[in-house]
Chain A
Amino acid sequence: MRSPAIEAVGFRTVAGIEQLGRLALFVGQVALRCVRPPFRSRRLVGEIYDVGVLSLAVICLSGATVGAVLALQGYTTLARFGAEGSLGAVVGLSLVRELGPVLTALLVTGRAGSAMAAGIASMVTTEQLDGLRMMSVDPMAFVVTPKALAMVLVMPLLNGLFIVFAIFGGYLVGVELLGVDGGQYLTSLESSIDLGDDVAGSFVKAITFGSLVGFIATYRGYFSEATAAGVSAATTGTVVVSSVAILISDYVITALWGV
């Protein structure tokens, strides 16, 4: 007996597995071009500028704001138990372990990941990638690899900056505004955070998220349809898929790493 509903599920499953296989091949090709010369360091610098420097303002501002909010929220809760001294620990732990990497990755996805997908997709639409191929220039090496690699490299840097700015924002609110002792804020922050677990875990997350966003954005752009609709589909798809992938992998890493 043939049921259209079951058939549809079957087709979707096969299509999904196909996509996964294509993505895996894609990642493999990019990885290969990361280790095989010629290295396009000039292209990489340009991409780091686009992804990193241009995201700097939004990351620093968001970081400071998130830190300030955490301090405000944490203070009201802690003050009930007379434990304001632990404010630094509350702000720092949630930032380093969770909010820093996740929020940084989500912000970078919106700011740079979408632009990356749209950029490649519009190069597909305007035949720029085919133009490179006809000049015997491999677009995977010339366009895709520097972009994906920049995302992987930049994410931990932005994560570090986000956390530092958030700690600073928390300090401003907690110490300057609410009157927690500054030394106590920093001491409780420093004593609560562990290098092996918290800080290393934070950067494992950042690098993982960077790879996810980098590969999803370039993949969606590279395999987009050569139309205006294709560009917008690649952009939206990148933001949605990357965000979900970030949150799911965050859970997985937290569960495995214990961060």
Chain B
Amino acid sequence: MKASPIRDLVVGLFVLAGLAAIGYLTIQLGGVSYAGPGGLELYASFDEIGGLSRRSPVRISGVKVGQVTAVELDDFLRARVTLDLDPSVRLPVDSKAEIRTSGVLGDQFVALEPGAEDEFLTAGEELAFTQDAISIERLVGKFMNSDDGDDKQ
């Protein structure tokens, strides 16, 4: 078969466009975001993490600085969450980790509230202060129960 340069060019452009689309999906959407090896890895333990899971975002003042890379039970049957943060974030040792919900029914994320100490947390350390997830179901349940109690008993 004879070569037809224009068709070859079009096919080449098509393949490039397809690869660019795949690249966009893997890099931008697939999110190799902050979580590269060598990121700042910290731990935090909670009694209740609600719907927090792997890949949930970690935010400081609402700005995304990392993500949850693992959720497991520790020896005391508490939830031990591994956070992978942007290494340029310098977090005082008395910072606090809190599980919050974006909106009423939105996703859960870890909010970090920086402390006041001059010393900073380094990789592998554990956040000392944590606040559990507020479970809406539980709140609603409590409210309903107390309501029932007042009215019927």
Knowing A49-B11, A194-B31, A199-B30, the reply to whether A160 touches B25 (Cβ < 8 A) is yes
Nearest Cβ distance between residue B84 and chain A, in whole angstroms? 14
How many chain A residues have a CB neighbour from B under 8 Å? 37
- A124→B17 CA distance, assembly (Å): 35
CB of A157 within 8 Å of the partner chain: yes
CB neighbours (8 Å) of B144 from chain A are none
CB of B55 within 8 Å of the partner chain: yes
From the candidates A49, A85, A199, A202, name the one contacting B7 in the complex (CB within 8 A). A49
- A110→B103 CA distance, assembly (Å): 43
CB of B119 within 8 Å of the partner chain: no
CB of A198 within 8 Å of the partner chain: yes
CB neighbours (8 Å) of B26 from chain A are 195, 199
CB neighbours (8 Å) of A48 from chain B are 11, 14-15
CB of B19 within 8 Å of the partner chain: yes
CB of A204 within 8 Å of the partner chain: no
Nearest Cβ distance between residue A37 and chain B, in whole angstroms? 17
Whether the pair B18, A52 counts as a contact (CB closer than 8 A) is yes
- A255→B68 CA distance, assembly (Å): 25
CB of B135 within 8 Å of the partner chain: no
CB of B104 within 8 Å of the partner chain: yes
CB of A190 within 8 Å of the partner chain: yes
CB of B28 within 8 Å of the partner chain: yes
Whether the pair B7, A198 counts as a contact (CB closer than 8 A) is no
Whether the pair A195, B17 counts as a contact (CB closer than 8 A) is no
CB neighbours (8 Å) of A89 from chain B are 107
CB of B102 within 8 Å of the partner chain: yes
Nearest B residue to A48 by beta-carbon distance?
Answer: B11
- A172→B97 CA distance, assembly (Å): 37
- A193→B24 CA distance, assembly (Å): 12
Whether the pair A191, B64 counts as a contact (CB closer than 8 A) is yes
Nearest Cβ distance between residue A20 and chain B, in whole angstroms? 32
Whether the pair B32, A195 counts as a contact (CB closer than 8 A) is yes
CB neighbours (8 Å) of B17 from chain A are 157, 161
Among A22-30, A38-46, A218-226, A246-254, the one that faces the other chain is: A38-46
**Per-position 1/0 for A190-215, Cβ under 8 A of B:** 11111100110011000000000000
Nearest B residue to A89 by beta-carbon distance?
Answer: B107
- A182→B106 CA distance, assembly (Å): 18
Closest 10 CB pairs of A and B: A157-B18, A195-B30, A160-B21, A160-B22, A199-B30, A164-B21, A193-B29, A161-B21, A42-B1, A53-B14
19 A-B contact pairs sorted by A residue (CB < 8 Å): A48-B14, A49-B10, A49-B11, A52-B11, A81-B105, A83-B106, A85-B106, A86-B106, A96-B29, A157-B18, A158-B18, A160-B21, A161-B21, A189-B29, A192-B107, A195-B31, A199-B29, A199-B30, A202-B25
